[in-house]
Amino acid sequence: MSLKLTQFSEIGSENTLTSYKHMLFVLTENEEANIPYSEILRTKLKRTHSEYKDLYKTPLTTDLPNAGIASFVVLEGKLNAFQRHTLLRKALAPLLDEQPSELAIFVFGDVATRELNACAAYYVATVNAAKLPSCKKEDKFKALENIIIHGYRAQHDYAYVNARVAGNTLCRQLSITPPNELTPTIYRDRITVLAKEYGWKHQEFDMAKLKAMGAGAFYSVGQGSNPQDAAIVHLTYEPKDAQKNIALVGKGICFDTGGHNLKPAKYMQGMHEDMNGSAVALGILLAATLQQLPVRLDCWLAIAQNHIGPLSYKQNDVVTALNGMTIEIVHTDAEGRMVLADTLTLASRTNEHGQLPDAIIDFATLTGTMISALGTRMSGVIANHAELANKAVHAGNETGERIVAFPYDDDYESDLDSDIADIMQCTIDGDADHIHAARFLGKFVENDVAWLHTDLSSANNEGGLGAVSSDTSGFGVGFGLALIKSLMNDN
């Protein structure tokens, strides 16, 4: 998206603003009498039996004499990032619904407040102005071409916000794409194009190669599809000044039928988004590349489908993973942890320079129990190092993508004891499956590498979430990017 940004230090008078048709006023608690169109605002508030303080919770939109519209919202200093983004999303929605070519944003308060709110408003506006896939006969999308910010003039052009928006948009675009338009073959082709465009090293482990390597956990899932086009894709971003080495791992199940344990229609709806974890990892990789972060990122994408066929894996099969562990299959709809198992093993081994990753972060729409625990407004993480989980929670708070840390206690692992194999894939009843899944996955992380598992229960939230208005939220790109920056600062 090509977008022009213009910034002015001053707000300007009412008379100078008449050319704008779509305006957002981001106010503080003390601005009631000092803003353009204050009379119009007071009249509107009286008509709706509201007061200025009501704008703290519910933004107000009103028509203007110049045939334009304006939204007013009050952002209190005590708000966290999620609350700030949510209020801005609600305030901007009626403006962006008209698909304007130009948007004017006015920020009030002291310098620190103006900087915070200008940045947040710019992010929320641009992330919701992005073009998403549509298969409608008529494409009525019109691009937002120009944003004007009044009240704060930064010394930069918000390039870091643009990078986060680009990563979030890529994640949502891929996740929303219908499954017949994003098969593993098509997905791999798109990744190849991205790798060439952004200069990433690109390597693929296809089914034949994975079978020869002994990656039986991944292979057991991929073998049920026709064609057998599943693969583990490895991308590397390696700037010359890289200070850390971090691995990203993403679950990329392009469609999940549940396999022999077939999902009912209600739960199969939306299963083309079961590749969202891989899209999050790609979005982070893109954002880091655009920001030219001094960190090596190895991005490992487990791309497959979970289909039914004569070769599909089934309950009570025993397969051997890449690390030599044998796995008893209990439920074919627990395919995500199977493809991630071998992928995590690859990610936790030394690279071509003989270096281990400083940390691994995986992303997956993995378990229904995480949704049962949190709903779809937050996501959960589980880590083998407590400090990494704490950093993740902080990164979530900082970026408005809320994270809850769950335990990794080893006594849960006894529930996965098998009479015939080294470990069971899951339990049949599924209680505490989000923790069992983490204990299972942890068996495949080698060399005691610090590892964070992200179960994306908030990948899709009806009505939008935080900054993002679409149901598919792109959750994880902002939090993951912030976590990487935090890890870069570790000695």
Query: Could you list the active site residues?
Result: 263, 337
Residue 76's CB is within 10 A of a number of other CB atoms, namely: 13
Q: Where are the beta strands (DSSP E) in 22-136?
A: 22-27, 60-63, 69-74, 102-107
Supply the angle between the helices 111-128 and 81-96 in degrees, to the nearest 10. 50
- What are the structure tokens assigned to 36, written together? 């353009």
Kindly give the pairing relationship between strand 69-74 and strand 60-63.
antiparallel
CA 179 to mean position of chain CA atoms: 19
Distance of alpha carbon 437 from alpha carbon 459, whole angstroms: 18
Q: Where are the beta strands (DSSP E) in 329-411?
A: 359-364, 379-383, 403-405
Rounded distance between C-alpha atoms, residue 298 and residue 186, angstroms:
21
Beta bridge mates, 147: 5, 103
Beta bridge partners of 201: 236
The helix (H) or strand (E) run that includes residue 364 is strand 359-364
* Cα(441)–Cα(425) distance, integer angstroms: 9
Question: For the chain, give me the number of helices (H) and strands (E)?
Answer: 14, 17
If you count them, how many residues does the chain have?
491
- In 110-236, which ranges are continuous DSSP H helix? 111-128, 159-176, 184-198, 207-213, 216-222
Torsion sign (Cα): 89, 93, 99, 101: negative
Going from the C-alpha of 275 to that of each of 184, 224, 390, the distances in angstroms are 10, 17, 26
Contacts of 230 (CB under 8 A, 6+ apart): 184, 206, 207, 218, 221, 222, 303, 304, 305, 339
Q: Tokens 């407040």: give the residue.
A: 113
Contact 89, 128 (CB under 8 A): yes
- What is the greatest pairwise CA distance in the chain? 80
Q: Smallest Cα–Cα separation from 357: which of 459, 236, 263?
A: 236
Task: Output the CA torsion sign for 263, 265, 269, 272.
Answer: positive
Instruction: Report whether 117 contacts 73 (CB < 8 A).
Output: no
| Bridge partners (DSSP) listed for residue 25 | 72, 106
Using CA atoms, how far apart are residues 489 and 245, in angstroms rounded to an integer?
12
Contacts of 50 (CB under 8 A, 6+ apart): 58, 60
Q: What's at 100, amino acid-wise?
A: P
